[in-house]
Amino acid sequence: MLTLIRKTLTRVAMAACIGTVPVAAQADTELTMYYPIAVGGPLTQVVDGIVADFMKENPDIKVNAIYAGNYNDARIKALAALRSGEPAQLSVMFSIDIYELIEQDAIVAFDDIVTSPEDKAWLDSFYPTLMENGRTGGKTWGIPFQRSTIVMYYNKDAFRAAGLDPEKAPATWDELVVAGKKLTKADGSQWGVMIPSTGYPYWMFGALTMQNDQVLMNSAGDTTYFDAPSTISALEFWKDLGTEYKVMPEGTIEWGTLRQNFLEGKTAIMWHSTGNLTTVKQNAKFDFGVAMLPANKRRGTPTGGGNFYIFKKTSPEERVAAMKLIKFMTSPERSAEWSMKTGYMGVSPAAYNTRKLQDYVKDFPYAAVARDQLEFATAELSTYQTGRVRKALDDAIQAALAGTKTPAAALREAQTTADRLLKAYR
Amino acid sequence: MHPAYNLMRHVYGWLLLTPAAILLIAFTHYPTVATFYESLFSKGTAIRPSRFVGSANYQAMIEDPIFWKVLVNNLWFAAGTIPVSVALAITMAMLVNRSLPGRSFLRMAYFTPTILPMIAVANIWLFFYSPDIGLIDQILGWFGLPGHNWLGDPATVLPAIIVMTIWKEAGFFMIFYLAALQNLPPELEEAAKLEGASRWYYFRRVVFPLLMPTTLFVLVNAILNSFKLVDHLFVLTKGGPDNASNLLLYYIYENAFSYFDTNYAATLTVVLLTMLAIMALAQFFFLDRRIHYR
Amino acid sequence: MQRQYRAVSTAFETFAAWFIAILWISPLLYAFWAAFHANEYAIHFELLAPLTLDNFREALSQAPFLRYGFNTFVLVTMLLTSQLVICTLAAYAFARYDFVGSNIAFALVLVQLMITPEILIVENYSTLAELGLVDTITGIGLPYMASAFGIFLLRQTFKSTPKELEDAARLEGCGTLGILWRVYVPLARPTYLAYGLVSISHHWNNFLWPLVVTNSVETRPLTVGLGIFGAPESGVDWSIVSAATLLSVAPLLVAFLLFQRQFIQSFMHSGIK
């Protein structure tokens, strides 16, 4: 009732204020793309460059890229724009937003757009691991683009100073603890290792659980395994790095300032997104290395980052144009260029087979660590009600690391919350 | 009075009020009512449309441990910031109300944090609190003390934010005290001096009671601010670790704009509105009576 | 004895006053230090470290702060102008027209002193979406245009204006708005100044609501731009963040330093009911 009143009132008000709504009559297709990076950063220039190239090749399509901030902002803004009727045809959004977007009926499956066998083959041209977060219910909803995994950055100078082999990064949890103890200085001026626990704690935790041979959720996105014994022991290990082995500061570690800590030599090892690779390369004043994350029962990392989605409220012409743009941006050449400039991954084997990326990898082998690690990777935590489920896990991790709850108790609580939230979807 | 004028009086009055009335109704009164209404419905998505659920959201809220946590945090936040910043504000005002070297510089120094946006303040303070590389830990390091993960430890994160807020707000409240002090008749202090009263006695028995209306005004403002001010959380902690620094309005924001559950957000807003209403009534019935003696 | 005691206590108070002042101003001084030095000196304090403007250059190249600044300027100007007009009219009605329902209406206006628009972000956002004003500068300003605080302040001032002046103007043939414009507004100048400065500094610094409403560079004010800039996905660089922070607060800070007295007087004035 109130909504009705509001709608009528606003319509009257709109009519009074605006009078006539100008209708843009353009023959060309215009695409508005939301993009999850902060405006004006180095990445903006890269995306702008690719988009400009695309428009040069396709003069009949005009692309407006809207840089909305972080993943959360991009999703909020894109959905808000859709709801308020502003134009938005496609977007790069968090790969794990898939269920939320499906539930909001905001996106269209690529299977419903692609028709030719050639296009269907294109859907299978990406790394399967990167497609995991984009597929559910037998359909493909997201195409990988700005994708990353977690890798281990380490300070080779610090390794040398501690008497460790700088070419041999810790490959198991035990080696990590041993190396960490050697690297940690008693006066607190240098820690052995830092794993960030703000911002995206569940993501880092996804790596630890995978290394414990445990996934966090099923592929239908309606069940989580937060209280599985291997999940609990993974969190116990994370906590022990601080309290038991003393190789990591206790309490939570800030995602945003961690890179600075590493560059300042305050920690010899950090786990962070490959998306940081280029910045670290440019700013490190010491010899650094990049390695796969260590293994416990096996190696493991979640993938992360953003996928392309096409919104449902689009005309057939717009969908065709959007497909063109997505194909252009994920083409091997562009994906290779994107990877070199940012540190994000190339999205298909073909991208790593391009000449320029092969040359780059020869010169800077660390650029391929993320790709090599893909073999061990798994999907990032993503479920229905993903925001709340994620927060339940994030809170549990932070509570355990901060010592207010035991890992087992915290995770059981998170599982109860997740069960309550997901019951309706099973 | 002329009957036509009498009628015109009402017409003019309402005409003049109309622009303000439309905006106030649209953005204050209507949304207040709508918030109550929305809180009775379930979260709507394209697949599951919103439906009337009565008090289910309130039930969920009562069972939501995070709700209770943010509520308690809000109370601690208010209890931590308000008394100290008010006491500091009075002290500052007393200090710079007399002639002393560099008085205008001092006033400016106290007042400057007030005109900075909270988001900028948080950017600056984030660096102070950052473990190991942050300024506070470095200063502790000079004295050979170990650093601390100020924002990463649930025990220190709220106090850390409280300290920052006190820094931001004390100068603002000082201004009101300064204004009040300047309105006090100067004879009072002379009389007190002649009587041989100590300065402390004079402050406690004469000045402080006379400042009471200002204190009440400042208190109301301070309490309001403690509910409204969450900007810094976006930069400093995002409410973490484990909601240790989360506040009610930030939790409302998270629910509405991160989880798209506007209905639960509305339910939480109802709590906030109720608390503000209680405050308004308390001010009206209890405090105003005491203010109006002057 | 008494005199000596007084001298000691005065000296102590002066010391305390300066001590607090230095403590209070130092975070800002620190931001200045960090902004004008290379990143490594933000962490390793060194008195004679070389000065640099690189951080500002970098901040400006990484985000369109000039555009943000322009947006903020447009927002604040538009908002203040509308506030002055709308609040003046309403305040005049309350001060001089004893119209039917005026008491209830005034009470309803005062509700906004408590329930400020930021508390109602959820509902106000959907209203704005229906109006099609999401991501517009008008949209940021709209909920604040009818300011209960402004109405209240101006009503008090108008009430203290001698009625005889109004009668004289009426005899000279002034209409309602003419009287308002010729008699009431000029006499309320100090109140306007006070309200204006308070409003400008409030909206220059406002964050939550603009964050919710804006999506694009063309509308985002400085605070939101700074908030996004300071919390990127990958990590922050202190010196550049400090430089960006200074860029965002500079206009208001400079204005404050230049017109300190007016600012402080204004805030004082606005607090006295």
The domain that holds B214 is classified in CATH as 1.10.3720.10
What are the structure tokens assigned to C210, written together?
């603009």
B interface toward A at CB cutoff 8 Å?
30, 33-34, 37, 45-48, 66, 126, 130-133, 141, 146-147, 149, 151-154, 237-238, 240-244, 254, 257-261
Residue B189 lies in a domain: yes
| Interface check C104 vs B, CB under 8 A | no
How far from the centroid of its chain's Cα atoms is residue B91's Cα?
20
| Same domain (yes/no): A280, A317 | no
CA–CA dist A293, A305 (Å, integer): 18
Q: Is A406 an interface residue toward B (CB < 8 Å)?
A: no
The verdict on a CB contact (< 8 Å) between C233 and A40 is: no
Range of the domain at C209: 57-271
A295 shares a domain with A318: no
The answer, yes or no, to whether residue A15 has pLDDT greater than 60, is no
Q: Which residue has the higher pLDDT, C119 or A18?
A: C119
A69/C214 Cα distance (integer angstroms) = 11
Higher pLDDT, residue B164 or B138: B164
Taking a contact as any Cβ pair under 8 Å apart, which residues of chain C between 126 and 145 contact chain B? 126-127, 142-143, 145
Is B25 a residue whose pLDDT tops 70? yes
Q: What's the Rg (C-alpha) of chain B?
A: 24
A419 with A278, same domain? yes
Q: How far is C37 from chain B (nearest CA, A)?
A: 15
Top pLDDT among C31 and B77 is at B77
Q: Between these two residues, A101 and B7, which has the higher pLDDT value? A: A101
Measure the CA angle with vertex B262, ends A424 and A76; round to 5°: 95
Select from C2, C24, C198 the residue whose CB has the most chain B CBs within 10 Å, as the one to mutate to test that interface: C24
Cα B158 to the chain's mean position, in Å?
15
**How far, in Å, are A39, A399, B79, C251 from residue A64 at the CA level?**
13, 42, 48, 31
Report whether A333 contacts A350 (CB < 8 A). no
- For residue B91 the two structure tokens come to 């002290």
Of all residues in chain B, the one with the smallest CA distance to A4 is B34
Are residues A235 and A317 part of one domain? Answer: no
Domain span including residue A130? 2-141+304-330
- Answer yes or no: do A73 and A114 share one domain: yes
Mean pLDDT of chain C: 86
pLDDT band at A18; cut points 50, 70, 90: very low
Q: How many CB pairs under 8 A join A and C?
A: 83
What total number of domains does chain A contain? 2
* Residue B102 lies in domain: 57-291
B13 falls within a domain: no
What is the per-residue pLDDT across B242-287, written as a single tens digit (0 to 9) for each? 899 999 999 999 998 888 888 999 999 999 999 988 888 887 776 6
Indicate which CATH number applies to the domain containing A244. Answer: 3.40.190.10
Per the CB < 8 Å rule, is C234 touching A257?
no
Mean pLDDT of chain B, nearest integer: 86
Whether A93 and A228 share a structural domain: no
Over 50: is that where the pLDDT of B291 sits? no
Phi, psi torsion values for C64, nearest 5 degrees: -75, 70
Contact yes or no for C132 and A85 at CB 8 A: yes
Give the pLDDT of residue C271.
60
- The reply to whether A86 and A213 lie within a common domain is no
> Is there a domain that residue A241 lies in?
yes
Percent of chain A predicted with pLDDT > 90: 55
B29-44 pLDDT tens trace: 999 999 999 999 988 7
CA distance readout (Å), C74 to B87, C69, C81, C129 = 38, 9, 11, 21
Q: Which of B205, B207, B193 is nearest to B93 (CA)?
A: B207
B210 is written with which tokens? Answer: 């006379």
Contact A39, A67 (CB under 8 A): yes
Residue spans of alpha helices (H) in B25-153? 30-38, 56-62, 65-96, 103-111, 118-129, 135-142
Are A158 and A274 in a shared domain? yes
Beta pairing class for A267-273 and A191-194: parallel
Structural domain includes residue B80: yes
| Sequence letter at residue A405 | K
Number of domains in chain C: 1
Is C221 within the bounds of a domain?
yes
Q: What is the pLDDT of residues C216-249, one digit of tens each?
A: 788 999 999 888 886 655 566 778 888 988 988 8
Among the partner-chain residues A38, A84, A259, the one whose CB lies closest to the CB of C63 is A38
A194 and A68 in a common domain: no
In SS3 terms, A127-178 reads as CHHHHHHHEECCEECCEEEEEEEEEEEEEHHHHHHCCCCCCCCCCEHHHHHH
Identify whether residues A165 and A269 lie together within a single domain: yes
Structural domain contains residue C215: yes
CATH assignment at residue C153: 1.10.3720.10
Please give the residue of chain C at the shortest CA–CA distance from B138: C43
Q: How many domains does chain B have?
A: 1
The CA distance from B120 to the nearest CA of chain A, in Å, is 16
- The answer to whether position A165 is within a domain reads yes
Give yes or no for a contact between C273 and B217, defined as CB atoms under 8 angstroms apart: yes
Question: Which of A340, A95, A330, A84 has the alpha carbon at shortest distance from A206?
Answer: A95
pLDDT in tens, A230-271: 999 999 999 999 999 999 998 888 888 888 889 989 899 999
Return the number of other C-beta atoms located less than 10 Å from residue C52's C-beta: 16
CA distances from B20 to B9, B25, B221, C80, C98 (A): 18, 8, 23, 14, 17
Question: What is the pLDDT confidence band of residue A27, given thresholds at 50, 70 and 90?
Answer: very low
pTM over 0.90: no
DSSP-H helix ranges across A223-315: 229-243, 255-263, 277-283
Dihedral sign of CA atoms A326, A332, A338, A339 in order: positive
User: Alpha helix locations (H) across B131-186?
Assistant: 135-142, 154-182
Q: Would strands A29-35 and A90-94 be described as parallel, antiparallel, or unpaired?
A: parallel
pLDDT in tens, B178-222: 888 888 888 887 888 787 777 788 888 888 888 888 888 888 889
Same domain, A130 and A54: yes
Q: How far apart are CA C120 and CA B28, in angstroms?
A: 8
B20 belongs to a structural domain: no
Give the pLDDT mean for A197-218.
93
Nearest to C132 among A40, A84, A276 (CB): A84
A405-419 per-position pLDDT tens digit: 999 999 999 999 999
Looking at CA atoms only, how far is residue B155 from chain C in angstroms? 24
Angle at A86 between CA A80 and CA A89, to 5 degrees: 90
Task: State how far residue B193 is from chain A, nearest Cα, in angstroms.
Answer: 55
Residues of chain A found within 8 Å of residue B254, distances taken between Cβ atoms: 391
C-beta of residue C69 within 8 angstroms of C-beta of residue C75? no
Q: Are A307 and A133 in contact (CB under 8 A)?
A: yes
